[in-house]
Amino acid sequence: MHQLPKQKPFTIPDNYFEELPDRILSKVKVKESSPIWYWAAAAVVLLSLGWWQLRDASLPALPLTAEEEVLLYIESGHWSAHDVLSLAEDPNQLLDNIIEEEIAKIAPLWAEEEEIWF
């Protein structure tokens, strides 16, 4: 290493470091501020959501009968069959009524066939 000559192969131009910040800033684009229509679109979306929520809140709720309300509870899974039967005064009578209604929907098997006499 001692045998190599001490040279400065690189030279710095005059006023290089003084002019460097100005040259860097001149190459960087200035970020444009967001256009006003972005803010207008956001305001329209927020106002329409607010109007939609207020419109739904102002609609009167339709009164439900007790049977409709119970069906909604059952269909939503909030109540089970056991819960409904526990609310009845006579659960056996309730089950009998349900069975009678279901049987009444089914036509008797012998009503559709013609009688064949041999």
Q: For residue range 48-94, what is the model confidence (pLDDT) as tens digits?
A: 988 888 776 666 677 888 888 888 888 888 888 788 788 888 888 88
User: Buried b / exposed e across 80-118, counting CB within 10 Å, b at 16+?
Assistant: eeeeeeeeeeeeeeeeeeeeeeeeeeeeeeeeeeeeeee
| Cβ(85)–Cβ(94) below 8 Å | yes
pLDDT value of residue 30: 65
Is 97 within a domain? yes
pLDDT at 44 over 80: yes
What 3-state class would DSSP assign to 24? Answer: helix
Is 35 within a domain? no
Give the domain extent around 89. Answer: 64-107
Residue 15 CA, distance from chain mean position: 62
Q: Mean pLDDT over residues 101-105, rounded? A: 83
Is 93 within a domain? yes
Is 95 within a domain? yes
Question: Distances in Å between the alpha carbon of 4 and those of 1, 7, 10, 97?
Answer: 6, 9, 16, 112
pLDDT value of residue 88: 82
Give the chain's domain count. 1
